[in-house]
Amino acid sequence: MSIPSKLIENLKARHGEPQRHYHTWDHIEALKRHFDNLKANWHRPEPVLWALYWHDAIYDPTRGDNEELSAQLLEDEASGHLGANDLAFAVKIIRATAKHEVPDGLSEEDRADLALFLDIDLSILGAPEAVFDQYEANVRKEYAFVPDEAFRAGRARILKGFAERAGIYFTEEGRARWDAQARHNLARSLSTMAE
């Protein structure tokens, strides 16, 4: 289950682009650690791993179609390396990160894998306070072109959307690992935006 090193090097270069402060290779490595720690949970680890590496391959904070473009890039770059069925699932995972919702029409095992992937992608919300605060600062840097008031309103809407979910995380694993801390972090962040 290896991804050609040339493709990884290209991804590392993309994640080093100057507009990135949170969506860097550090984010990919953090998710890879979660992927490895949860290896017993994956039903189809290979497409999940390809999705993990490509899900933020294209990241331009001024655009709203980064996930779709990243999915298309994976379709191009994984062709010939990943079977058609696995590639289709990896692309579906990436597209699901746009709304952070599990789509309908999946098998039970694929649904479980996609849900757990979305959970590890949001694990940063349940990180220790200092790590979460750095994440928030880095997201602000990525949106430096947005005036403060507009950023605070937009960011508050996003964080509130997660905070108001019955479950921030879809899986028992995600809830056990990150939910309590995520709710604490979101409440702290939202309180500062209301000031």
Q: Is the pLDDT of residue 194 over 80?
A: no
Percent of the chain with pLDDT over 90: 96
- In this prediction, residue 195 carries a pLDDT of 63
- The token duo for 11 is 């991804």
- The CA dihedral of 124, 101, 59, 45, to the nearest 10 degrees, is 80
User: What distance separates the 2 farthest-apart alpha carbons in the chain?
Assistant: 53
Total-model pTM: 0.95
Q: pLDDT tens-digit profile of 1-12?
A: 689 999 999 999
What does DSSP assign to residue 123?
G
